[in-house]
Amino acid sequence: MRTLLLLAVVTAVAQAATRPTIEEARKFVDDAEKQLLVLGIEGGRADWVKSTYITDDTEALAAKADERGINATVDFAKGSAKFKDTPLPEDIERKLKLLRLALTVATPSNPKDSEELTRIVAGMEGTYGKGKYCAQADHCLDLEDLTKVMAESRDPKQLLDAWVGWHAIAKPIREPFARYVELANKGARELGFADTGAMWREKYDMPPDAFAKELDRLWEQVRPLYLSLHAYVRGRLRERYGAAVVPANGPIPAHLLGNMWAQSWENIYPLVEPKDSGPGYDLTQILKTRNTDAKEMVRYGERFFTSLGFAPLPTTFWERSLFTKPRDREVVCHASAWDIDYVEDLRIKMCIDITADDFLTIHHELGHNFYQRAYDKQPFLFRDSANDGFHEAVGDTIALSVTPAYLVKIGLLQTVPDPSKDISLLLHKALEKIAFLPFGLMIDQWRWKVFAGEITPEQYNRAWWELRLKYQGIAPPVARSETDFDPAAKYHVAANVPYARYFLADILQFQFHRALAGISGCRDPLNRCSIYGNQEAGRRLNTMLTMGASRPWPSALAELTGSRQMDARAIIDYFAPLQKWLDQQNKGKPVGW
């Protein structure tokens, strides 16, 4: 017994002598932060130019710059393994962990593979960005034109034409996508992950399987509400388009929901609004009538944040952002927010239309920018959100405060509609937020299976529509086959952006909104609460944002809401009156598909 103990002590001492010290770990992390900052800035600049001026050259230059940054991150992630037996202070431990999880795509060590992979990723985004539907050779429609058709047209033939036309742009992405899956998985495996999907799932401060279960749990909480909305909308669309187009108890055809991906349905609000009353105002019309321009739209968003006590955006934001679609060059129009130097060089890139949709999206984008600035004093590896759902939720939380009363306050609306209009307003919001939930979930259900090899290239499209059916209850409007590649007709699939974050954000933003509404002293129903002008709410929000990624996300969540759990009760409470109303409308009608 005594000999054994002695042996254990001797071994421990020997190990301690050979394993790297805390000081070495600290130096390793400092070096990584210095180098990755420089490479991140270079990559950001190259990406910005590529995304705002798509050519073969800018694509190649951006791919090269990205490759340098990704390779360096991979090297540091691999190098961090040598500290696994060194007991480390919490901050270093967390930074090493974040280093290993920083990438959405890991390059394999073979230089040929790594170059090919980064070229493919840049190329797929470029193909998407340049996508056009040319019904005639001299008349092409881009995604902005087609988005307008999907939102405004009520002619099923025209909607179908736009839908099919856009989905065709994704066909050429199928082959490179399959290769990207192969190479990205190779890179992920070199880092010790089972595949790229497993790497994505591990980012949430819990075991990856537990995270997948967490998503299922949240979905089960909100599914009844989605089913009620789906049944109600299907019934109204059937009245509108007829029994030949919309089935009584089957899935809704994907081209009738006002959006290219049927991901949010607010554009068909006029088709489904309560028969006895509308919402009483139309923000798109108001903005158009006032001749509001793109910059002014962004100013409205900025003023909301400054009303909470955030500092105004820097002058360079206004000089360097892209607010409108240029006429003479190809750009990636999908909205995004940037933080080029990780400190002050904030920008958005967005082809703004003067619509209520884009008015809200601007708040979404600025949420990213104000978050980025809030955590800019953190060490480099902590300059990120608590989890990626938080990043997506901040601007949307603010947008939930864009209530009629707020619009009156800023002079866009004359009078606040009376409470009898609340069901209409809630229905409009539900078409945006509840309709989105299954879509937000299914995209990565598909990709996780693809990365895991459970969905092979021969099954890409079929599996996609199986999940669309299972979660959303929608069906393709025409027969599809494996010559199609419908997943890549969605930006985030073509551009390698994980999507579970938007599902999380949809849930989290209501938790944030409820907490902030409480802090601001609002006692009204949550849909009537706006935190505009409330500095205390701003201060509390800022406290959470300032933490960046320095602590596991439950701590950030607790900081604002007092709870360490993501929880769908806030979104369910918000829509409770609507759920009741929907159930009345659906009485005696089929629910589900």
Cite the active site residues.
Answer: 334-335, 364-365, 368, 392, 492, 502
Report what 514 binds from ligand X8Z, Zn ion, none; CB cut-off 5-8 Å by kind: none
Single residue of 52, 58, 127, 336 touching ligand X8Z by CB under 6 A = 336
- What ranges make up the beta strands (E) of 122-274? 132-136, 139-142, 252-253
Question: Mask of contacts with ligand X8Z, 496-515, x by CB under 6 A?
Answer: ------x-------------
Q: Is the Cβ–Cβ distance between 381 and 33 less than 8 Å?
A: yes
- Least Å distance, CB 535 to ligand X8Z, is 27
- Least Å distance, CB 437 to ligand X8Z, is 11
- Least Å distance, CB 494 to ligand X8Z, is 12
355 binds ligand X8Z (CB under 6 A): no
Q: Is the Cβ–Cβ distance between 237 and 272 less than 8 Å?
A: yes
Closest to ligand X8Z by CB, 201 or 391: 391
Q: Is the Cβ–Cβ distance between 384 and 204 less than 8 Å?
A: no
- Least Å distance, CB 564 to ligand X8Z, is 25
Helices (H), 478-587: 491-494, 500-519, 535-546, 553-561, 569-574, 576-585
- Least Å distance, CB 365 to ligand X8Z, is 7
361 binds ligand X8Z (CB under 6 A): yes
CA distances (Å), 264 to each of 28, 199, 215, 462, in order? 45, 28, 19, 22
Tokens 């279960």 found at: 213
Q: Is the Cβ–Cβ distance between 500 and 200 less than 8 Å?
A: yes
d(CA 504, CA 567): 10
Nearest CA to 332 out of 61, 47, 51 is that of 51
Closest to ligand X8Z by CB, 335 or 558: 335
Closest to ligand X8Z by CB, 228 or 336: 336
Single residue of 60, 178, 335, 405 touching ligand X8Z by CB under 6 A = 335
Question: Mask of contacts with Zn ion, 390-429, x by CB under 5 A?
Answer: --x-------------------------------------
Report what 336 binds from Zn ion, ligand X8Z, none; CB cut-off 5-8 Å by kind: ligand X8Z
CA distances (Å), 375 to each of 170, 370, 386, 503, 544, in order? 37, 9, 10, 23, 9
Binding positions for Zn ion, 285-314, rule CB under 5 A: none
- Least Å distance, CB 353 to ligand X8Z, is 13
Closest to Zn ion by CB, 195 or 357: 357
Residue 285: how many CB atoms within 10 A of its CB? 11
- HSE toward the beta carbon, residue 10, CA cutoff 13 A: 6
Report what 502 binds from Zn ion, ligand X8Z, none; CB cut-off 5-8 Å by kind: ligand X8Z
Tokens 């002293």 found at: 521
Question: Mask of contacts with ligand X8Z, 237-256, x by CB under 6 A?
Answer: --------------------
Stretch that binds Zn ion, among 385-393, 407-415, 488-496, 517-525 (CB under 5 A): 385-393
d(CA 591, CA 570): 24
Closest to ligand X8Z by CB, 259 or 511: 259
338 binds ligand X8Z (CB under 6 A): no
Task: Kindly state the number of chain residues that form the binding site for ligand X8Z, as judged by CB under 6 A.
Answer: 6
d(CA 284, CA 355): 4
Q: Is the Cβ–Cβ distance between 379 and 372 less than 8 Å?
A: no
Task: Kindly state the number of chain residues that form the binding site for Zn ion, as judged by CB under 5 A.
Answer: 1
Which 8-state DSSP code applies to residue 341? T
Q: Is the Cβ–Cβ distance between 358 and 82 less than 8 Å?
A: no
d(CA 160, CA 146): 11
Binding positions for ligand X8Z, 260-289, rule CB under 6 A: 263
Both tokens assigned to 457: 């290239």
| Length of the chain (residues) | 593
Binding positions for ligand X8Z, 452-491, rule CB under 6 A: none
- Least Å distance, CB 125 to Zn ion, is 16
d(CA 91, CA 93): 5
Closest to ligand X8Z by CB, 500 or 541: 500
**Cα-flanking dihedrals φ and ψ of residue 32, to 5°?**
-60, -45
Stretch that binds Zn ion, among 117-125, 198-206, 317-325, 387-395 (CB under 5 A): 387-395
The neighbouring-strand residues paired with 349 are 322, 336
- Least Å distance, CB 16 to ligand X8Z, is 46
Shortest-Cβ-distance residue relative to Zn ion: 392
User: Given the rule CB under 6 A, which residues bind ligand X8Z?
Assistant: 263, 335-336, 361, 364, 502
User: Given the rule CB under 5 A, which residues bind Zn ion?
Assistant: 392
